[in-house]
Amino acid sequence: MKKQYYLFFLTACIAASCSSKKDASFTDKINETLKASANQYEYLGTRNPDGRFPKSYHVKNDSLETSDSGWWCSGFYPGTLLYLNEANANPILKKAADKSLEDLKKEQFNKTTHDLGFMMYCSYGNAERLYPNADYELVLINSAKSLATRYNAVAKCIQSWDSAPWNHATQDEMPVIIDNMMNLELLFWASKYSGDKTFYDIAVNHANTTMKNHFRADYSSYHEVVYNKNTGAVVRQITNQGAADASAWARGQAWGLYGYVVMYRETKDKKYLEQAQHIAGFILNHPNLPADKIPYWDFNAPGIPDALRDSSAAAIIASALIELGSYSDKELSKKYHADANVILKSLMALEYFSAPHTNGGFLLKHGVGNMPNKTEIDTPLSYGDYYFIEALMRYKKAGL
């Protein structure tokens, strides 16, 4: 009996040791990747024109694609710089982040976009979290007030784009895209900071309306839902960036997953946790999800398995899964964290992670911005980098 017990104890110790070494090896890889990413973003900073925000990169002519502060992606560059400086203190990156924040500051009063969460919370939200001060808080509360002006009390959701032929909405209609779930985090911050429940209520109403009208029976999501401004009725359920109205655009599924994880975090309402778990189930159990778990740009893309992948969608999914795992039961938590591990391992491999001073200074290769519009195809994307670094930081902090 003693001999059997000893053998069992020895086997258990060896298994635990192997698991520990495996976990340590993955953590080491994350640390190496964070350091390499900091060096890469130092290089990106040398290429980025003053007052501009990196969007993507054109391989053919070795040139950056940049934007002004009003573009929806403008917050990701300073946000990534802040994450990288948090991981490993780097005065060059911190200085670049501060300069970029100053260039972005005026957008706090921009009422023409629903993307102020992306623009201002990914940037100033991280700045306020790391270096709390009244200036950052004022920018964030003003940004939330600007975002709240786009709320339609009849439809009970926040209008995304302004009505236009290209988004299939007349002047009496309002388009709402699944991406908008990502902008609610700013409103929750504003409600906690100000004590004004109006921001909270807008976020909850938008999430509830989206849950009702954006999702199909299998928990896949339409990209765009068009509402009648005056009655709140659903006019049409379509796509703008997906393969077809009935398809599951990969990044759209990622936005929905991440957004409902945030909803549960901020409200502790279990219906949002269940919604996030259902969305995760659709993504992770989909027959068209490749073994490395980097999704095709649309789960129903034509040409699978030769269709392009979208590394940005993968990064968003990984970041969301890590947080979702912390709210789920033991079995689901283990699955979500294991799947996030596979995604991050894939993204840190040479197929997706850039060699030093290549890819224009961006981190991830093989992102897909807008396939139907033929823009940003098989290229780096600033938001892919942002959520990739966020996912690495979350994985490391969770001690997985």
7 in a domain, yes or no? Answer: no
The residue from 103, 115, 298, 385 that is catalytic is 115
Cis-peptide into 295, omega within 30 deg: no
3 in a domain, yes or no? Answer: no
Domain of residue 175 covers: 151-240
**Positive or negative, the Cα torsion across 336, 337, 338, 344?**
positive
304: left (phi over 0), alpha (psi -120 to 50) or beta: beta
Q: 395 is written with which tokens?
A: 């994985």
Q: Total structural domains in the chain? A: 3
Cβ atoms of residues 253 and 279 within 8 Å:
yes
Cβ atoms of residues 250 and 171 within 8 Å:
no
What pLDDT, on the 0 to 100 scale, is given for residue 36? 98
What pLDDT, on the 0 to 100 scale, is given for residue 5? 38
Q: Do 272 and 359 lie in a common domain? A: yes
> Where would I find the H helices in the chain?
2-47, 76-87, 91-104, 116, 126-130, 134-148, 184-194, 197-213, 250-267, 270-284, 311-327, 330-348, 382-397
Q: Do 39 and 94 lie in a common domain? A: no
15 in a domain, yes or no? Answer: no
- Indicate if 179 belongs to the active site: yes
4 in a domain, yes or no? Answer: no
pLDDT tens-digit map of 254-297: 999 999 999 999 999 999 999 999 999 999 999 999 999 999 99
Q: 243 is written with which tokens?
A: 């393969």
Q: How far apart are CA 104 and CA 101, in angstroms?
A: 5
Angle at 256 between CA 208 and CA 23, to 5 degrees: 130
Within a 10 A sphere around the Cβ of 255, how many other Cβ atoms? 25
Q: Do 184 and 273 lie in a common domain? A: no
The residue from 103, 179, 298, 310 that is catalytic is 179
17 in a domain, yes or no? Answer: no
Q: Do 381 and 293 lie in a common domain? A: yes
375 in a domain, yes or no? Answer: yes
Q: Do 364 and 295 lie in a common domain? A: yes
Amino acid found at 310:
D
Q: For position 281, which CATH number holds?
A: 1.50.10.10
Q: Which of 221, 240, 259 is the last residue of a domain?
A: 240
Q: Do 171 and 136 lie in a common domain? A: no
pLDDT tens-digit map of 152-200: 999 999 999 999 999 999 999 999 999 999 999 999 999 999 999 999 9
Q: How far apart are CA 316 and CA 258, in angstroms?
A: 7
Q: Do 220 and 357 lie in a common domain? A: no
390 in a domain, yes or no? Answer: yes
What pLDDT, on the 0 to 100 scale, is given for residue 2? 42
Which of 187, 167, 186 lies closest to 177 in space, CA to CA?
A: 167
Q: Do 53 and 73 lie in a common domain? A: no
Q: Which of 120, 149, 178 is the last residue of a domain?
A: 149
Rounded CA Rg of the chain = 21
What crossing angle do the helices spanning 330-348 and 311-327 adopt, rounded to 10°? 150
Q: Do 261 and 372 lie in a common domain? A: yes
Q: Do 300 and 210 lie in a common domain? A: no
2 in a domain, yes or no? Answer: no
Specify which residues 296 forms β-bridges with. 309
What pLDDT, on the 0 to 100 scale, is given for residue 332? 98
Enumerate residue ranges in the chain where pLDDT < 50: 1-21
- Indicate if 162 belongs to the active site: no
Cβ atoms of residues 239 and 301 within 8 Å:
no
Cβ atoms of residues 309 and 295 within 8 Å:
yes
Q: Do 33 and 81 lie in a common domain? A: no
CA atoms within 13 A on the CB side of 332: 17
What pLDDT, on the 0 to 100 scale, is given for residue 24? 74
Cβ atoms of residues 175 and 168 within 8 Å:
yes
Q: Which of 217, 240, 263 is the last residue of a domain?
A: 240
DSSP 41-62: HHHHHHHSPTT-EEEEEETTTT
Q: How far apart are CA 159 and CA 147, in angstroms?
A: 10
What pLDDT, on the 0 to 100 scale, is given for residue 400? 82
Q: Do 287 and 388 lie in a common domain? A: yes
